[in-house]
Structure 1
């Protein structure tokens, strides 16, 4: 009887269960339903998830622990369904979250930067990370944190952070194949190179793009001792609010040429804006010479002391306005370690800083043969990673790949530089040629710090990307007629002159002052009858265009020793030697080769007072004096620009 009733009850319960569950669901829904909205219902919500179930990708946000306990914010993205995918890592001070949330879209290619899209579509796991102390990561930020050693006794640097990050990724991303590549431009180029110092075994390939390598010799902060005023802006912006913004200079509207000139020295400018106590600013102002403070931070020197174990493709733009020094410097120390000429390659494209990661059809007034940047990424860079990370066939990466501007074509070569240094001599009457003048002479100009030569036509806005990014290809006719700019040029060429390498300046000069800056420009002068009128899209006619092929500055006080500045003896002819940026360029028949020499490039570089002071950053108003500059040519003082000419 009991058993019979239990069976009946069980059957009844089975029939009622769906009704009971439906009723319970209705009660729960009613209990969870929000109150009815009223005109006074608050409109703020805690979160809106932009990644919908329909998205074609997976996004994870994690905090990866470092060996000291600090956790670094990291975004991991991949297309849905990825299996056995290689990892492509970038480590940045510029907001990893933003780099993976470019557009609110359900397609992975819309969310990521252009440089990532080909990889994301091909099953790569894309990883972006905030370096320590920046944006959403924990820890303290130190700009270009030195490697563990004489300047850093913490046991922690960007190399160890890269190692710890890679170790965590290969153990915690089940969709990966355990192989990692690293890539990045500018500061990210620095962190890419740092990952190659004591590299994790899973790191199989690296592409440092326009890397920050030596901030004093020629990347970012100084060039041959001359200080870049924009470095102050960068230091403050990075230091404030973990790099999240709000540190911009309150200069107001107007011509920055006037703003910087009115402020005085770099130190006076810092005091005027109240930034003189910012640690990054102090590092610049208190260390103007190439002492151990800077020389022991040079990444190429660190890499020179270590074995080459990671296949590396170094990339930079021919007109890189920020980091033209680093990649060739690293190539010089790594290439001798590459015994089979297959571990290190160098790429120089017709781009501005980080231009390889954007559209490469043009730069300023110049047009190229198609999208040169995408062509490099698809034809050479991705196959390089595919080989080392996915086991694809050998990509036959050329030892050196450069774009020959002037004739607009990619060229491969077995080494760099390729050209033979051939002097282009300065001569009397503003002439230049390949024959050494027998008779010595000089051309003079007066350099006045109260009226420095601008690096762009005024008004200048240092924060305007349309001015800053293409400035190295700007037509130089805007200063050719200034009395404080000396000019020499060849006659029209009767045959092409092809250069592949870094032109070298060999300048004999005297000054009536006790210190001086020297700026040399190598220029391709277009024929004045180019039958191409200015178009309606804003590009100028190339008729008579004075195209800079290389511009570089040298601070005279460092002619003997970069670490120990010494005054110049007034009137004494001194020899100054330095390199212009690396280029592959063809001066075409009918064009002329021009050399310009001047003693300021403002406000990109601080003004030299032209009277020797211990620390040029704190020069006083009375220290800034006019000076007569004499550029010698011919005889025993035959100034020239050495051109690396190939047949």
Structure 2
């Protein structure tokens, strides 16, 4: 935006205003009403239209928008760099027509990225030091003004809201899972009459709302959820504001698909467990000795911690190998593993010695969560830096009659990564104290899920998610982009679960009575 990072008078907001102005003056047969809609980067543009809205703009629909590239969208998640975006950056910036393709010579992306070492070296091997955005990434690994000044939720929070907006979020968005809920949190307080800000959350991947929404990976929803969204929500909402004489659309302030039970919920606010009378109570799910998880805090006298060795030479894959596709490829089919990796079975990770697993008893009643889980991890490393990945998982019964292949399936409901050097400040990284417990607290992606009776709740903890995220050398260096081979060292990782040092995932839990009533 125009300001410290851009001294010119031209930015995305002025371009959007000028585009709308041109359209209403030059498109034949205009009715003077304009709507703007788009997905991903094109979902970012409807947000730019809200910065200084053109008088003709009557409605905006940002879908899976890119909002904050450092906190949890395309480029970083809590400081960990999403290095599989490098081929996308190369294709976007090397030439205007995008003729330059990523050439690797490797069948498995895991091997290619491991051989390069750091993400900085990987980019340099492809000549990316010639590209302006790559150089900016190297110059801004921390959450400094470069990132803060372009965080769209912060920009919109500081401006009035005059245009109705429908924010569309995918619960398993593999690219921009942070943006839509963050924008909703920024805009909803401005909607005092509860008639300008609308939120829709579907069981989709990135952009699936305009495709077929009957399934995602192994998950079957029993109906085309995307068609329902377009027919019952999106079209009436747009018609209300753009077609003269159209009656008011019957769209709830929040329409959220509830995974697990596989049904839509119409809600008055978010987070909310049900239409009326529900409250969401932050409730710790504790990581306990003997690989157990539960709502009772760990008692004194048990093991104080669990430990594993994190070896940068053998990082944990983010999905099953070989990883063969360009994860940022546009137009890939729904069978592309990149589009469904967030719902892939996690049993392979659970079998590794460098992944800690905590699992609850078999549930006898439904457990419903609505909102954003928070990881509260008390952990130490023998190194001076570390990454921490926390995954909240729904473990299916060993036998699922209607869909046998789902027997024992470990479904990620919500998961994210945190780069340890930022535990005190996102802007000013610090080395970690070797061998001393540190408390890490970070948000996981928004969810609306019911763990059904017969299922179990699992939490997995690990220190790499490769090659999606660049490896932490586990030795503190000024910039991980410039880490040298000798910086990458094994580390002993400990996760604590003792009184006074309890690790847990804080669940946005709907109270048991309400869960039972809603889950009948």
TM-score band by shorter chain is over 0.9
Q: Does 1:639 align with 2:503?
A: yes
Are the equivalent residues in 1 in contact too, given 2:212–2:226 (CA < 8 A)? yes
Q: For 1:532 and 1:258, how far apart are their aligned partners in 2? A: 38
Q: For 1:273 and 1:150, how far apart are their aligned partners in 2? A: 31
Offset at residue 532 of structure 1 (A):
4.4
Aligned to 2:287: 426
Offset at residue 305 of structure 1 (A):
1.1
Q: Secondary structure at the match of 1:241?
A: coil
Q: Does 1:285 align with 2:155?
A: no
Q: Does 1:225 align with 2:83?
A: no
Deviations 1:381-409 (A, max 9, x none): 11111011113111132111110011110
Are the equivalent residues in 1 in contact too, given 2:385–2:432 (CA < 8 A)? yes
The total of aligned residue pairs comes to 494
Q: For 2:84 and 2:149, how far apart are their aligned partners in 1? A: 23
1:299 to 125, 134, 152: 152
Offset at residue 253 of structure 1 (A):
4.3
Aligned to 1:497: 367
Q: For 2:25 and 2:109, how far apart are their aligned partners in 1? A: 51
Deviations 1:4-32 (A, max 9, x none): xxxxxxxxxxxxxxxxxxxxxxxxxxxxx
Are the equivalent residues in 1 in contact too, given 2:61–2:166 (CA < 8 A)? yes
1:477 to 335, 347, 363: 347
Q: For 1:277 and 1:287, how far apart are their aligned partners in 2? A: 16
Offset at residue 488 of structure 1 (A):
0.3
Q: For 1:246 and 1:252, how far apart are their aligned partners in 2? A: 18
Q: CA RMSD in A?
A: 1.1
Aligned to 1:255: 108
Q: For 1:296 and 1:176, how far apart are their aligned partners in 2? A: 36
Aligned to 1:336: 189
Aligned to 2:315: 452
Offset at residue 645 of structure 1 (A):
1.2
Q: Which has the larger radius of gyration?
A: 1
Are the equivalent residues in 2 in contact too, given 1:369–1:409 (CA < 8 A)? no
Q: Which has the higher contact order (CA 8 A, sep 6+)?
A: 2
Aligned to 1:170: 24
Deviations 1:49-102 (A, max 9, x none): xxxxxxxxxxxxxxxxxxxxxxxxxxxxxxxxxxxxxxxxxxxxxxxxxxxxxx
Deviations 1:415-442 (A, max 9, x none): 1112221110010000000011122610
Aligned to 1:527: 397
Offset at residue 519 of structure 1 (A):
0.2
Q: Does 1:620 align with 2:505?
A: no
Are the equivalent residues in 1 in contact too, given 2:87–2:326 (CA < 8 A)? no
Offset at residue 267 of structure 1 (A):
1.1
Are the equivalent residues in 2 in contact too, given 1:404–1:410 (CA < 8 A)? yes
Aligned to 2:94: 240
Q: Note the 1:59-208 alignment, pairs <5 A.
A: 147-208=1-62
Q: For 2:237 and 2:486, how far apart are their aligned partners in 1? A: 57
Per the normalisation by structure 1, the TM-score is 0.75
Q: For 1:634 and 1:491, how far apart are their aligned partners in 2? A: 20
Q: For 2:144 and 2:403, how far apart are their aligned partners in 1? A: 51
Q: For 2:26 and 2:60, how far apart are their aligned partners in 1? A: 21
Aligned to 1:581: 445
Are the equivalent residues in 2 in contact too, given 1:348–1:583 (CA < 8 A)? no
Aligned to 1:548: 412
Are the equivalent residues in 1 in contact too, given 2:293–2:360 (CA < 8 A)? yes
2:170 to 295, 305, 317: 317
Aligned to 1:597: 461
Q: For 2:88 and 2:321, how far apart are their aligned partners in 1? A: 22
Aligned to 2:67: 213
Q: Secondary structure at the match of 2:466?
A: coil
Aligned to 1:95: none
Are the equivalent residues in 2 in contact too, given 1:502–1:581 (CA < 8 A)? yes
Deviations 1:591-632 (A, max 9, x none): 000000000000000000001000111000000000000000
Aligned to 2:356: 486
Q: For 1:429 and 1:328, how far apart are their aligned partners in 2? A: 35
